[in-house]
Amino acid sequence: MKSVEPPRFILRFLEWFCKPEYHADIEGDLLEIYDRRVEHWGRNRANLHLCKDVLFLFRPGIIRSAKIHQPLTSNGMIKSYFLMGWRNLWKNKLYSTLNVLGLTFGMVCFLLIGLYVYDELNFDTQHSNAERIYRVITHEKSPNNEATTVAAAGYMVAEDPTQTFANVERTTRMQRIGRANLVDPENPVNVQEAITVADEYLLQVFDFPLLEGDRRTALKEPNSIAITEELAMRIFGRTDVINKNLQFSHMDNPVKITAILKNHPKNSSFTFTSVLSESTRYSNEEFMREALSDWTSQNYTVYALLKPDANADSVSSKITRLVHANVTLEPGTKLSYNLQPLKDVHLKSDGIIDGARNANVDPIPQGNPVYVTVFLFTAILVLLIAGINYSNLTTARASSRLKEIGVRKVIGAVPGNLIGQFLVESFITIVIAFGVAVLIVAVLLPSFNEFANKKFLLFSSVGLGFWAAAAGLIIAMGLLSGGYAALLLSYFKPVSLLKGLVLKSGSDFSVRKALVVLQFTISTVMIIGTIVLFRQVHFLNESNLGFNKDLMVVIDVNVGKARSNFDWVKNEMSKIAAVEQVTVTSHVPGDWKTLVRVKLKKEGGSDQLHTAYVIGADKDFLATYGIELLKGRNFGNKNDTSAVLINEAAAKILGITHVSNEAVEIPQSARGSSFAPVYDDINASFKPRVVGIVKDFHFQSLRAKIEPLIIAYHDNPIYPIDYYSVKIQPQNIQATLEKLKAVMVANDEREPFEYHFLDEQLARFYIEDQRSQTILGWVALASVVIACLGLFGLATYSAQQRLKEIGVRKVLGANLLSIMALLSKDFVKLVLIACCFAFPVAWFGANWWLQEYAYHIDAEWWIFALAGVITTGIALLTVSYQAIKAALMTPVKTLRSE
Amino acid sequence: MKRFQLGEFEEIVLLTVGVLHGNAYGVTIKDEIEQRLNREVSVGSLQITLRRLESKGFLKSTPGDSTESRRGRPKLFFEVTAYGKKALDYCKESRDELWKALPQMVLNLK
């Protein structure tokens, strides 16, 4: 019987994938079974089963491995590199551990700081048009050359510029209008919230992600409000509240929720939780009358979305021209506009006053470019130190591997092979260290987030770029430091290697010395930086501000009744036993909010206008805050509406030396940029009399110099009272607070009790410094630890190298101390040289940074001495461990082999 | 103690090779298992198992002569090695131990 032929293709498929050594007999089996099946079932079914059998044979174990067809060399070599590398690392556990530890330390620092810097640099980049969004900045120069730069503009600047400018796609204006009570009418719970008003284009220029609602229409209708999910949770306890109503305490109509915004990310300059549609105000005739003629008020934050190919400079000069065409400026005043890119808002707004910021509004996170730069540098420096460590330890170990290298060379390894070998070794080390570092970062991240006030995730979509870059940089660093060692090790002459010649302290050793010096220079600079920072922050916290900040409770005034009824409230508060004194003010000294500025001149004096800050206060202000009255009198009990006190700085620029009821004039037209339109009915100039001069006190952060200040009576046309300041006694603070709350509630039950302690509030000025102090402190510590790990390795190595020498010396009668000195001397010398380099660098750096503060410490000599002692001490400790170990060894052991 | 790594199917194959003593190659092994145990065996899983057992040292193979029925393809005969016998022994003993240790009651309940 002629046998039936099986389908050829399937057998060929088998031949293609099957291991050749298995192929013949498996095919035999298959054919035997096939023949039987044909007999039994017939051809078709047998074919089908054969196909099935072959397909089931397609599995690992039977499939031939791909590499058989490739040349053996490269793959095999790399495999052997890995094997050898792994064995070498395993064999020298001490060095491997030191290497991995040092690298890990460096990487953890680098990654954490890197995350911080990355976040700071990527502020506001979440908007898809971020590249094209600009903030309008107003530059104003008064006739006497006082310049102000304000991140705000008038209403009309943003009034449909698409008509006027070809290059502007859209503008939007927003205004933060202070706090208001928001209530859910169905379930009244008071929520005090800072309110932002914005026109309908806000959600189109910026793409704040919406949970619900239509971004094109959300802010169009009057009485519409968009709120964040966080605020929705606070008011309603859920987020699906679109189309629900909210009631403002001081508005007749309820507002409708038209959009739910996602919470802002931490790296956003926007912190608002609610946006009220600007059209809500259009029915207010007074508002519209003012708005339509308002070109220069600096009450609105204006953002412009430019067309893709637009030039920001030409747009800003158009704005300047437009404004000039619509207003007549006072002679001598200069006014110009420019556009600040959105990405610069966070870090490059130094010296720009956030003019549209109103009272009672939370501050916007403002970055400090100095710290970002310093951090970026330290991150890279720490990585550098770790890299130096690695190559130092590797080259130091070279001589113990000289024989290995020699044998490899004699067998026929070219430098390329050896470099490959060493590179693979360092690659393994780096990958291990990186893995450990990422693990540590993952563990540390929650506490780091809390501390840095950030919200980092280990692998978020935003951070992927960062991780790729960080991994790339770290591996590049590792390969570079490994590569240096590899190059060095692979170029020795094989003959001398095999003869067992010890690597003489040639060129490589001096390079290693230089690297140790560099490491310790960096570490010492960091230690000095930390001490200076620490001292400065301490100084800021402890320095005499010219007023009394301790035990001062500041209570916010929110509802009108608390303002108008303040006499009663003050009286009730004074009755509490633990309350020493109460005062009402418009601002508190050391307030982080923008103070109101006015322009003024001395009556009867020259026409020159000066700028001064204004605080409104009552007669108890000076006593409560402990501010010293130098001349004249305090406010009296009678109506002193037209009396003011001034500080020394103001007295100086106004030229007031004697207080004889001299008057100053604050013209209405020249009220300051941050003028809050509260008493709009007063159109005439405000001409108060100066009744007293007070000693200068720091009413702003210590970064700023003390500026001229006017303390107006609480009932003044410039700014109403906003705070109660209560000086309390230290006992039972909680009980006192409860009593204070009771007074506020008794006055108006809608009034929420919002308070803070003044000293805590003041500390917020320096929170960034404190944070940096901590970060820098840890980095300095890490860098010292890393450098010492390296030193430890080098000392171990050098002790091992000199074991015999030490043995001989001991036999000849050297004592412990002299041997320790012998071994430590070289290293301590290096550290001392490092200090010499570090001192001037640190001195310049510290002075540069301290310049930022109007009031600062000096970089004193003892700081440097202390840092020097710390580094040298730590280095000495590190080395002496090895030195003692070597010195205590029995010479018999070390000398026996000779 | 895990002295011998022997899976259930591996054990069956190993035993079957022993049963077939001298006539164990792919097809006969497959047939034997299918008949005795009434279970379907694919060429793929059998081959994989045979090779694995061989690489573990439980089996050794010798190529046989080519025959007409297989169109010139050789048979590959398998044989249990001494080590393989030890593995089987160990397997049986350890099972027996366990059986012995089983309380009478449990068996009765079955």
Model confidence pLDDT, tens digit, residues A767-777: 777 787 788 88
Distance from CA of A34 to the nearest CA of B (A): 10
Residue whose tokens read 């301290």: A850
pLDDT score at A360: 42
Percent of chain A at pLDDT above 70? 86
Backbone Cα Rg of chain A: 38
Pure H helices in A671-815: 733-747, 758-763, 767-801, 803-811
Which parts of A219-324 are beta strand (E)?
Answer: 224-228, 245-248, 255-261, 274-277, 301-306
A882 vs A819: CA distance, rounded Å = 11
Distance from CA of A37 to the nearest CA of B (A): 12
pLDDT class for A683, splitting at 50, 70, 90? very low
Query: pLDDT (tens digit, 9 = 90+) per residue, A771-826?
Result: 877 888 888 888 888 888 888 877 777 777 777 788 888 888 888 888 888 888 88
B9 vs A363: CA distance, rounded Å = 72
Query: pLDDT (tens digit, 9 = 90+) per residue, A32-63?
Result: 888 888 888 888 888 888 888 888 888 777 77
Query: pLDDT (tens digit, 9 = 90+) per residue, A715-750?
Result: 766 666 778 888 888 888 888 888 888 888 888 776
Work out the burial of residue A64: count CB atoms within 10 Å of its CB; fewer than 13 is exposed, 13-18 middle, 19 or more buried.
middle
A176 membership: H or E segment, kind and range: strand A168-183
The answer to whether the Cβ–Cβ distance between B44 and A32 falls below 8 Å is no
The answer to whether the Cβ–Cβ distance between A33 and B27 falls below 8 Å is yes
Mean pLDDT of B97-110: 73
| DSSP code per residue over A107-174 | HHHHHHHHHHHHHHHTTTTTSTTGGGEEEEEEEEE-TT--EEEES-B-GGGGS-TTTT-TTEEEEEEE
pLDDT score at A398: 67
A126 vs A305: CA distance, rounded Å = 15
A242 vs A240: CA distance, rounded Å = 6
List the single residue in B with minimal CA-CA distance to A52: B42
Query: pLDDT (tens digit, 9 = 90+) per residue, A863-879?
Result: 888 888 888 888 888 88
Nearest beta carbon to residue B73 from set A3, A28, A56:
A28
pLDDT score at A75: 65
| DSSP code per residue over A389-446 | HHHHHHHHGGGGGHHHHHHHHHHT--HHHHHHHHHHHHHHHHHHHHHHHHHHHHHHHH
List the single residue in B with minimal CA-CA distance to A14: B44
Percent of chain A at pLDDT above 90? 2
Residue whose tokens read 């929705």: A232
The answer to whether the Cβ–Cβ distance between A29 and B74 falls below 8 Å is no
pLDDT score at A782: 83
A860 vs A722: CA distance, rounded Å = 43
Least confident span in A223-227, A344-348, A593-597: A593-597
pLDDT score at A459: 65
pLDDT class for A840, splitting at 50, 70, 90? very high
A606 vs A600: CA distance, rounded Å = 11
- Taking the CB of residue A819, how many other CB atoms lie within 10 A of it? 22
Query: pLDDT (tens digit, 9 = 90+) per residue, A236-275?
Result: 888 888 888 888 766 778 888 999 998 888 788 888 888 9
Whether residue A675 contacts residue A601, with contact meaning beta carbons closer than 8 Å, is answered with no
Residue whose tokens read 């694995």: B52
Distance from CA of B6 to the nearest CA of A (A): 17
pLDDT class for A2, splitting at 50, 70, 90? low
Mean pLDDT of A5-31: 84
More confident residue, A145 or B47: B47
Mean pLDDT of A596-606: 72
Chain B hits for A22, CB-CB cut-off 8 Å, are 47, 51
Nearest beta carbon to residue B47 from set A24, A31, A62:
A62
pLDDT score at A98: 83
pLDDT score at A226: 92
Query: pLDDT (tens digit, 9 = 90+) per residue, A687-722?
Result: 778 888 888 888 877 777 888 888 888 776 666 677
Q: Are strands A255-261 and A191-198 parallel, antiparallel or unpaired?
A: unpaired
Nearest beta carbon to residue A53 from set B25, B43, B66:
B43
A137 vs A338: CA distance, rounded Å = 5
Asked whether residue A673 carries a pLDDT value surpassing 50, the answer given is no
Mean pLDDT of A634-659: 80
Nearest beta carbon to residue B47 from set A24, A26, A52:
A26
Residue whose tokens read 């018999």: A892
Nearest beta carbon to residue A25 from set B26, B30, B69:
B26
Q: Are strands A191-198 and A168-183 parallel, antiparallel or unpaired?
A: antiparallel
A364 vs A354: CA distance, rounded Å = 9
Asked whether residue A753 carries a pLDDT value surpassing 80, the answer given is no
Q: Is B62 near chain A, with CB under 8 Å?
A: no
Whole-prediction pTM value? 0.66
List the single residue in A with minimal CA-CA distance to B31: A33
Q: At what angle do helices A767-801 and A816-850 cross, to 10 degrees?
A: 150
Nearest beta carbon to residue A30 from set B43, B45, B52:
B43
pLDDT class for A392, splitting at 50, 70, 90? confident
Least confident span in A592-606, A615-629, A820-834, B42-56: A592-606
Chain A hits for B45, CB-CB cut-off 8 Å, are 56
| DSSP code per residue over A35-67 | HHHHHHH-HHHHHHHHHHHHHHH-STTTBPPGG
Query: pLDDT (tens digit, 9 = 90+) per residue, A466-518?
Result: 788 888 887 787 778 777 777 776 666 666 656 655 555 444 557 778 888 88
The answer to whether the Cβ–Cβ distance between A25 and B27 falls below 8 Å is no
Work out the burial of residue A813: count CB atoms within 10 Å of its CB; fewer than 13 is exposed, 13-18 middle, 19 or more buried.
exposed
List the single residue in B with minimal CA-CA distance to A4: B71
Give the CA distances from residue A263 to residues A229, A268, A272, A432, in Å, rounded to whole numbers and listed in that order.
Answer: 6, 10, 9, 38
Nearest beta carbon to residue B69 from set A27, A32, A62:
A32
Q: Is B45 near chain A, with CB under 8 Å?
A: yes
The DSSP symbol for A98 reads H
Chain A hits for B52, CB-CB cut-off 8 Å, are 61
Asked whether residue A679 carries a pLDDT value surpassing 60, the answer given is no
Q: Is B102 near chain A, with CB under 8 Å?
A: no
Nearest beta carbon to residue B42 from set A3, A35, A53:
A53
The answer to whether the Cβ–Cβ distance between B70 and A28 falls below 8 Å is yes
Mean pLDDT of A17-46: 85
Q: Is B44 near chain A, with CB under 8 Å?
A: yes
More confident residue, A179 or A837: A837
Query: pLDDT (tens digit, 9 = 90+) per residue, A397-419?
Result: 766 677 777 777 778 777 777 77
List the single residue in B with minimal CA-CA distance to A61: B48
Chain B hits for A33, CB-CB cut-off 8 Å, are 27, 30, 43
Asked whether residue A383 carries a pLDDT value surpassing 80, the answer given is yes
Chain B hits for A26, CB-CB cut-off 8 Å, are 26, 43, 47
pLDDT class for A675, splitting at 50, 70, 90? very low
Q: Is B38 near chain A, with CB under 8 Å?
A: no
List the single residue in B with minimal CA-CA distance to A36: B69
pLDDT score at A175: 84
Q: Is A32 near chain B, with CB under 8 Å?
A: yes
Mutation target among B25, B73, B75, B78 for the A interface, most CBs of A within 10 A: B73
ipTM given for this complex: 0.86
pLDDT score at A495: 63
pLDDT score at A399: 63
Mean pLDDT of A86-97: 81
Q: Is A62 near chain B, with CB under 8 Å?
A: yes
Q: Is A61 near chain B, with CB under 8 Å?
A: yes
